[in-house]
Amino acid sequence: MSIATASTTPAPRLPRERSDLVVVGAGIVGLAHAVEAVRRGLSVTVVERDRQPVGASVRNFGHCCITAQRGELLDLAVRSRTGWLDAASRAGLWAPEAGALVVARSATELAVLEELREERGADAVRMRTRDEVGDALGRPADERGDLVGGALLPADLRVNPREAAPRLAAWLARQPGVHIAWGTNVTGVESGTVHTARGPVHGDQVLLCVGHDLDRLYPDEAEAHGIERCRLSMARVEAPPAFRTDSAVLTATSMLRYDGFTAMPSAGALRSEVTGHSEELLAIGANVMFTRLPDGTVLVGDSHAYDVTEIPFQDEATTALLLREAARVLGVREVKVTERWQGVYASSARGPLLVRDVAPGVRALSVTSGIGMTLSFGLAAATFEGALPVSA
Ligand SMILES: Cc1cc2nc3c(=O)[nH]c(=O)nc-3n(C[C@H](O)[C@H](O)[C@H](O)COP(=O)(O)OP(=O)(O)OC[C@H]3O[C@@H](n4cnc5c(N)ncnc54)[C@H](O)[C@@H]3O)c2cc1C
């Protein structure tokens, strides 16, 4: 796996001066907060245990999945979109406004999309014909028999997960008043002081953005919110030659996972239909989707398995199932895998966010559903406006 700053990460060094804000964790949630802090003229120290970002934020699809959210999460996601575009232009990130293409391969799938268009309007959900979907997927005109149509969700954004967090960190490090302490494990936190294996770091406010590893620092808070580790099988494959879209490509199993779709009247019928023809995909918690990276390779995933402790073993049958289904959607016999990995993110059945003040001036913030890329900049804006609901 190549990540932009791999060879350029500076040697660990702790700042002597006190910062306005100390952020623990250089994943996208922590970095988005650091960017927002800089925008507001605050001094920031980011403390990260690894020498470069290697958590959930570099292992995902790079899909800011805006339209498929609902309610407060939709508001945060829309807000986040603006923050992403602003950060992208400042830090020089690849962030095409390419939207997401939802492929429909049955009348029921199409019905869910049409219902979403009714609710959100024809600009937000642009229906696509079979041939428009076939063209976007690069499938030959005579091999589109399984396609029914689809919808483009133009508000969705794409970023490159391999570069977004490293480049944001590199940009932050060049800003006055910002310090990034890589390779520095945080061992404990109290008001005004973050204790690390290299010594203390001082700040007026502390924000813990450690994702699923909150249980290492605050086990009671993590347990109270029911935080588990969700493991996902991912692969990078060579793209079929005619597949060129930068839109994220979603399928029926994606529609079963996002609230925007599951609230539609036909969602129940869709679940029964998918259970009927692809029960094995539901058994692995599949969300069959893919995104193309700027170099033309394609990220394919994913499955979902939940446990408090992350089990290291990846079942080959799970990946094979996902790859077979992705190949079907792409209209090719098979896809050639160039990399595989396991992604891990924080998950909770009790809610999509953990926002808790664990000590005066110390806040823990973990996204406990698989949409941290989508929400990151919206959360950062809401944090500084005091607009995030904090659990007691
Ligand atoms: C395979 C996969 C696909 C996904 N797809 C999408 C998607 O398409 N769209 C979307 O919106 N979201 C997606 N997600 C979810 C998204 O990636 C996460 O919600 C998001 O990256 C969480 O960001 P984070 O900063 O909280 O966590 P992380 O990126 O995991 O960062 C946490 C950081 O904290 C550091 N840390 C932890 N403990 C300490 C400590 N004690 N001291 C110092 N540092 C510490 C870690 O090293 C890490 O760098 C996906 C996730 C995965 C795994």
Which of 103, 159, 168 minimizes the C-alpha distance to 136? 103
User: Are 124 and 233 in a shared domain?
Assistant: yes
What's residue 9's pLDDT?
60
Q: In whole angstroms, give the CA distance from residue 377 to residue 269.
A: 35
User: Are 260 and 333 in a shared domain?
Assistant: yes
Q: How is residue 41 written in tokens? A: 């003229």
Q: In whole angstroms, give the CA distance from residue 257 to residue 230.
A: 14
Closest atom of ligand 1 relative to the 343 alpha carbon: 53
5 is a domain residue: no
Percent of the chain whose pLDDT exceeds 90:
93
User: Are 32 and 128 in a shared domain?
Assistant: no
Q: Which residue has the tokens 């580790």?
A: 229
Closest atom of ligand 1 relative to the 47 alpha carbon: 43
Fill in the amino acid letter for 215. Answer: D
84 is a domain residue: no
Return the best residue to mutate from 163, 213, 258, 375 for the ligand 1 pocket (most ligand atoms within 8 A of CB). Answer: 213
User: Are 150 and 244 in a shared domain?
Assistant: yes
**β partners of residue 343:** 232
284 is a domain residue: yes
Cβ 235 vs Cβ 300: under 8 Å: yes
Of residues 295 and 390, the one with the higher pLDDT is 295
User: Are 213 and 135 in a shared domain?
Assistant: no
User: Are 338 and 249 in a shared domain?
Assistant: yes
What is the band of 213 on the pLDDT scale with cuts at 50, 70, 90?
very high
Domain with 286 in it: what CATH number?
A: 3.30.9.10
Cβ 95 vs Cβ 159: under 8 Å: yes
User: Are 123 and 256 in a shared domain?
Assistant: yes
- For ligand 1, the distance from its centroid to the CA atom of residue 105, given in whole angstroms, is 32
User: Are 341 and 255 in a shared domain?
Assistant: yes
- Across 49-53, average pLDDT: 97
Residues with beta carbon inside 6 Å of ligand 1?
Answer: 24-30, 47-50, 53, 55-57, 59-61, 63, 65, 185-186, 209-211, 213, 216-217, 232, 234, 301-302, 343-345, 366-367, 370-374
- What separation, in Å, do the N-terminal and C-terminal C-alpha atoms of the chain show? 40
**β partners of residue 189:** 194
- For ligand 1, the distance from its centroid to the CA atom of residue 110, given in whole angstroms, is 32
User: Are 269 and 140 in a shared domain?
Assistant: yes
Closest atom of ligand 1 relative to the 187 alpha carbon: 41
- For ligand 1, the distance from its centroid to the CA atom of residue 33, given in whole angstroms, is 14
For helices 267-283 and 107-120, the axis angle rounded to 10 degrees is 120
User: Are 175 and 147 in a shared domain?
Assistant: no
Domain with 29 in it: what CATH number?
A: 3.50.50.60
Interstrand relation of 298-301 and 305-307 (parallel, antiparallel or unpaired): unpaired
What's the residue count for the chain? 392
Over residues 55-114, the pLDDT tens digits come to: 999 999 999 999 999 999 999 999 999 999 999 999 999 999 999 999 999 999 999 999
- For ligand 1, the distance from its centroid to the CA atom of residue 315, given in whole angstroms, is 22
Q: Is the dihedral of CA 286, 254, 337, 309 positive or negative?
A: negative
When divided into structural domains, the chain yields a total of: 2
Of all protein residues, the one whose alpha carbon is nearest to atom 6 of ligand 1 is 60
Note down the domain range covering 321: 100-154+228-347
Return the best residue to mutate from 80, 206, 210 for the ligand 1 pocket (most ligand atoms within 8 A of CB). Answer: 210
User: Are 312 and 216 in a shared domain?
Assistant: no
82 is a domain residue: no
H helices of 65-189, in order, are 71-91, 107-120, 130-137, 164-173
75 is a domain residue: no
Distant-in-sequence, close-in-space partners of 21: CB < 8 Å, separation ≥ 6: 33, 34, 37, 42, 43, 44, 45, 203, 204, 205, 206, 207
- For ligand 1, the distance from its centroid to the CA atom of residue 211, given in whole angstroms, is 6
User: Are 248 and 218 in a shared domain?
Assistant: no
299 is a domain residue: yes
What's residue 8's pLDDT?
52
Return the best residue to mutate from 28, 253, 345, 353 for the ligand 1 pocket (most ligand atoms within 8 A of CB). Answer: 345
- For ligand 1, the distance from its centroid to the CA atom of residue 221, given in whole angstroms, is 18
Q: How is residue 359 written in tokens? A: 């000590």
What's residue 4's pLDDT?
46
What is the band of 6 on the pLDDT scale with cuts at 50, 70, 90?
very low
What is the band of 159 on the pLDDT scale with cuts at 50, 70, 90?
very high
6 is a domain residue: no
Write the burial class of residue 311 (CB in 10 Å: 0-12 exposed, 13-18 middle, 19+ buried): exposed
Over residues 112-144, the pLDDT tens digits come to: 999 999 999 999 999 999 999 999 999 999 999
106 is a domain residue: yes
What's residue 3's pLDDT?
46
Cβ 252 vs Cβ 262: under 8 Å: no
Give the global pTM. Answer: 0.96
For helices 164-173 and 28-39, the axis angle rounded to 10 degrees is 30
Closest atom of ligand 1 relative to the 230 alpha carbon: 53
Of all protein residues, the one whose alpha carbon is nearest to atom 40 of ligand 1 is 186
Q: Which residue has the tokens 């966010």?
A: 353
